[in-house]
Structure 1
């Protein structure tokens, strides 16, 4: 009788340990997932402004290039492009970004051409997200209207 009680006690302790470990793994997965998303706001959140800087390199902003967007239609173009960007497989190895954008509390690198665009959340520089051709064209036209002659084909 004592042997079976001891065996039952060991089984219960082992089961509890397995459940606890399983719960900890799920918690870690959720935390890591949050970092890898391109945008942490949703399409219902109101973004009041987007701050844009042209970039010389990953660490150097082009002097006197900071622009702040407050026009709701312009912000919507950027927000829609970000919300609909598709995660690309593999680890990112990118050239210097064209722009740095501050959207809400989040900062992103942006590579933009007439028909393609890529963003990278500065919190996770190993993952990139690509715009649809239509979204890239909208963002490209917007930035071209802000900065004039677009020199992104560096």
Structure 2
């Protein structure tokens, strides 16, 4: 009888441990493997800058599934909403800070405009 109780307790602990691990893996952006990389806050002041990012948000398309991303390169705000941004020359991805399980892909034109903005200087 005691062996049965111990076996059931061990199985219960094993199940709890597996469940917690699964929740951690899908709970949001993954820690960046390079701790030197810092997220930069984009300060949108000019009307045309705000318009670029408004268009990027409105033209983006939701990617199915749960997102598991590296730390974002940038963050920005449009109105009351805040977003994380990952951008390259060819691709752009945003994530609303209120929903870190869903990503949105930028349109080709928005990717180009946003990339020009973040690389201006």
Q: What range describes the TM-score normalised by the shorter chain of this pair? A: 0.5 to 0.7
Number of residue equivalences: 88
Structure 1 residues without counterparts, runs of 5 or longer? 1-55, 149-154
Structure 2 residues without counterparts, runs of 5 or longer? 1-30
Is the 8 Å Cα contact of residues 115 and 134 (structure 1) preserved in structure 2?
Answer: no
Question: So what's the TM-score if we normalise by structure 1?
Answer: 0.51
Question: So what's the TM-score if we normalise by structure 2?
Answer: 0.64
**Change over 3 Å in CA distance of 1:114–1:79 after alignment to 2:** same
Give the equivalent residue in structure 2 for 1:90: 65
Q: Which runs of 4+ in 1 moved over 6 A?
A: none
| Residue aligned with 1:125, SS | coil
Please report how far the alpha carbon of residue 139 of structure 1 lies from its aligned counterpart in structure 2 after TM superposition: 0.2
The one of the two structures with greater contact order (alpha-carbon pairs below 8 A, sep at least 6) is: 2
**Change over 3 Å in CA distance of 1:88–1:69 after alignment to 2:** same
**Change over 3 Å in CA distance of 1:67–1:96 after alignment to 2:** closer
Give the equivalent residue in structure 1 for 2:50: 75
Please report how far the alpha carbon of residue 73 of structure 1 lies from its aligned counterpart in structure 2 after TM superposition: 1.0
